Structures are given as C-alpha cells and as structure tokens.
Amino acid sequence: MSLSHEYETTAPAIDFKGKYAFVSLGCPKNTVDSERMMGLLKLDGYELTDDPERSDFVIVNTCGFIEQARTESFAAIDEMLELKRQGKTRGVIVSGCLAERQKEQLLLDRPDIDSLVGVFGREEITRIADRLLGDLAEQRIIFQPAPIRALADENRLQITPPHFAYLKISEGCDRLCTFCAIPKMRGKHASKPMEQILSEANELAKTGVKELIIVAQDTTYYGMDLYGEPRLTELLRELDQVEGLQWIRLMYFYPMYIDDELLETIAQAERILPYIDMPLQHSDDTMLRRMSRRINHLDAEKLIDRMREVIPDLTLRTTFITGFPGETEEQFQNLADFVTRHQFERMGVFTYSYEPDTPAAKLPDQIDDNVKEERRNRLMAIQQEIAFDFNKRQTGKTIQVIIDHPVPDQPGVWIGRAPFDAPDVDGSVFVTESGKSLAPGEIVPVEIVQGHGYDLVGVAV
C-alpha cells in the first residue's frame, strides 16, 4: 500500500520503534479507521512501509460485510500469515469488521494470528504493537464496546490521495435491515459532536484536501442521538463555510429525514456538490417490507421527484439488491421498471449475500445463485444504457474536473473526476493537457469530446 499524505502534528520527535505494513480493505468508513490507526502508530514512533517483507509486523484491517468481502479479507490474512511462516515478518495483527464479527473463531481457524482487534479497539493499536514486538503474547484479543459517541478521527495518516479525504460523521446504525450485519459489527448509531466534525474538516482542509466526502452508516440520521433530532442540515451549513475546501460530496443517505430544508441547503451551498448517494435496495413494496426498509415505492418516487425538483442538475446514485429471499420474477420486473423510470445517473447492483447471523437468513424461499446473478446482469444492462446515454449528453459541455493522477506511460494525459463521479464507485474523466501542465488536486474546466463506456474523454480548457 502506498502512503500519500498525512496530518501535520506538533508532537515532539519520538524514538523509532519499528516498521509495519498495512492492508486496508472495505468501505470508506473502514478507510478512516485505518488512517486513524496509522496516525496513532506514527505518533508512537512506528514507521510505515509499503513492503510487508521489510516490516516487523503487518496489520490487516478487514471487511466482514458480505461473503465476497470476507473472502478478500481471508485471502489477505492468509497471504500475510504465509510471510510470517517464511520469517519475512514477525507478526500479523487482524483488525476491523471481520475481527469484530468472528471474534475467537478467527483465532481458532488461524492460530498464527498474533492479535485480534475489534472495530472499537483501534485506539489500543500502539499498545498491541508494543506487546507484539516485546514478545508479550498473553493478551491476544482486544475488543471494546461500541461507544455512545463516535470516536474522534484526528491525527490520521491519509491513504487516499492528498486532495480528497473521507470524513466520518457518525458510527453504527439503528436501521436493522434484515439483510445487514453492520449493527452487529459497529453497534447502534452514535453521532460525532458537530464541533469535532468541524475541527476535523478544518484540519483536513489545512493539509490540502480539496474534496471532502461525508460518510456514515446512515448520514441523514446524524444528530438524532446527540440533539434529539436530525441535524444534518445545520452540519452541512457549517461545513460549507470551511475555508480551503472546494467540493463536499454526500454519501450514504437513508431515504428518511430528507426534507425541503435539507435539499434547499444542498442546492444553495457554495461547496456542496449536487450529488447524493442514496441506497434504495429495492422498489417492490413486498421486498421492502421483507428487508425492513421503512419506506414504500410511492414514497420513494415522491422523494426522488422532489430531490430532482429542488436540486438543479442533481446526480442521484443508488444501489439495489437482486435475489433477496422470496423475490419473484414479477417483483424483480417492478424493480427493473423503477430503474427505467427514474434514470439514475449512477447505480450499483449487488446480488443478495446470505449472512447466517441476520434475520434474512431465516426467511423462506432463498433464491438460487444463478438467478440472483442473471437478474443482476439484466438490471445492469438497463443501467448501462442509461449511463451511456448520460455520457453522450455531456459531449460538447465544459465541466469542472478534479485531477486525480496521470495515466501511466501517456505524457500529458490525466485521470480525473467530474462532480457526478465519486472515487472508486463511479466513472472517470480522461483529460488531455492543452497548454499548461496539470497536477493532482487541481480543479479545472474540461471540454468533453466523447464518452468512453462509463467514462468520459475531454481536453483541459
């Protein structure tokens, strides 16, 4: 893993303790946890290396959300354990959601793991590293209960490029969707105090972050536990005033607590992009009830229409699940018609993942994997046509693009993102220099000359 950027700190110089490598997997919320652990290790005298074979120990921060993510996490753990067996690193620490979800079973299956750290044990990472290198192995498991307030995320060591960063505003979730194990891993919803969020946003801006990406398990529920009511609108107004930031991107909206005041705040803001990620998961009422989503298709339709009415040029991103237990062909077709009708600019589709410790696992009429995948492919075929048509409509326009990195072996060609493209999950813009040289983090006007699949091609103006 390459390290791109870090917070500045005023801490005095500390004696060097050792080198470590870090593997960060999973969602942006997990990325923030990884950056916090690496920041703590740096402050304590540990040095990060991108070569596990030159490390004293390796930390694997895992994802345990769905089967595919767990498979990736197990593979990363096993790869690092093999290095340990070959004598190329002294120890392996496993942290994050998979550790939280499987706890002692993970150690029974992989006894070579030196330490297991739950989601909320991350603040103990330096003590765990000290004990590992000091050959003090009597305490191998560190788990902490979910806090009543989201943990602070200061002093992070950034692993995203320097010009964009994720800002976590809350932890956990109260929604209890029947397919989801996140509440079991990350606990109940816990908001971060507004003052803390603003402090972290200002700290990131001072280090050169231009694009701030707001993340949580349930963004629109922010503040309910702290203030007795959702306070996302007020928070966004404050974040919009942070000097140095140019783009603020909003992710993980649950389709509740979205009112006109919130939408108007987004529409009128100086820095907040007209981009909202709002996972809907399905559109058929029977499926929504079985998922315990607390919204029906009529309310969803009204909400989408209202969002587009209030926020000009809104990019609406969503995700859906195919093959949820009991889904009939008719119910799937309702979803396909819903997607066709609403023309989401950005969309992801997942097949239902059987999770043994969730209510959905006990539902009758589990769907065959081939049917799940076939329905996913059909839905993505509909979305592909929508996305390609959206790209065609951008041709000839001049849009603002944030430059991410150069294209290898193509001098003068860069990869960037438009306001309608979030990192990792959406498309890109291939930008050719015209006159002046570009640099990562610049936001420049780009004339779009053509679409290229899900991506765009343009020339810097």
Question: For 173-231, what is each residue's pLDDT tens digit?
Answer: 988 899 998 888 888 999 999 999 999 999 999 999 999 999 999 999 999 999 999 99
Nearest in space to 32 (alpha carbons), one of 126, 152, 189: 152
What pLDDT, in 10s, does the model give residues 312-349? 999 999 999 999 999 999 999 999 999 999 999 999 99
In this predicted structure, the answer to whether residue 10 has a pLDDT above a threshold of 60 is no
Break the chain down into helix, strand, coil percent, rounded to 5. Answer: 35, 20, 40
CA distances from 92 to 1, 47, 61, 115, 140 (A): 16, 16, 11, 7, 11
Q: What percent of the chain lies above the pLDDT cut of 90? A: 84
Nearest CA among 105, 112, 37, 49 for reference residue 79:
112
- Cβ count near 288 (within 10 Å): 20
In which band, very low, low, confident or very high, does the pLDDT at 356 lie, cut at 50, 70 and 90?
confident
- Backbone φ, ψ for residue 273 (5° rounding): -70, 150
Give me the pLDDT at residue 4, please: 36
Residue 13 predicted with pLDDT over 90: no
Report how far residue 459's alpha carbon sits from residue 441's, in angstroms, rounded to the nearest whole number. 17
- Report the C-alpha gap between 440 and 163 in whole angstroms: 7
Q: What is the pLDDT of residue 139?
A: 57
> 365: left (phi > 0), else alpha (psi -120 to 50), else beta?
left
Instruction: Give the model confidence (pLDDT) of 237-277 as tens digits.
Output: 999 999 999 999 999 999 999 999 999 999 999 999 999 99
* Residue 168 near residue 192, CB atoms below 8 Å: yes
pTM exceeding 0.85:
yes
Residue 137 has pLDDT above 80, yes or no: no
If residue 166 lies in a helix (H) or strand (E), which one and from where to where?
A: strand 164-168
The 10s digit of each residue's pLDDT in 147-186 is 777 888 999 999 999 999 999 999 999 888 999 988 888 8
Assign 8 a pLDDT band (cuts: 50, 70, 90).
very low
Q: Which pLDDT does position 182 carry in this prediction? A: 86
CA 313 – CA 354 distance, rounded (Å): 37
**What is the DSSP pairing of strand 46-48 with strand 18-24?**
parallel
How far apart are the two ends of the chain, measured CA to CA in Å? 34
Sign of the CA dihedral with 419 first, then 236, 5, and 434 last: positive
Shortest CA distance to 61 belongs to which of 18, 32, 104? 32
Chain mean pLDDT for the chain: 92
Q: Is the pLDDT of residue 6 over 50?
A: no
What confidence score (pLDDT) does residue 5 get?
Answer: 40
Distance, in Å, from the CA atom of 394 to the CA atom of 400, rounded to the nearest integer, reads: 12
Q: Report residue 2's pLDDT band, with 50, 70 and 90 as the boundaries.
A: very low
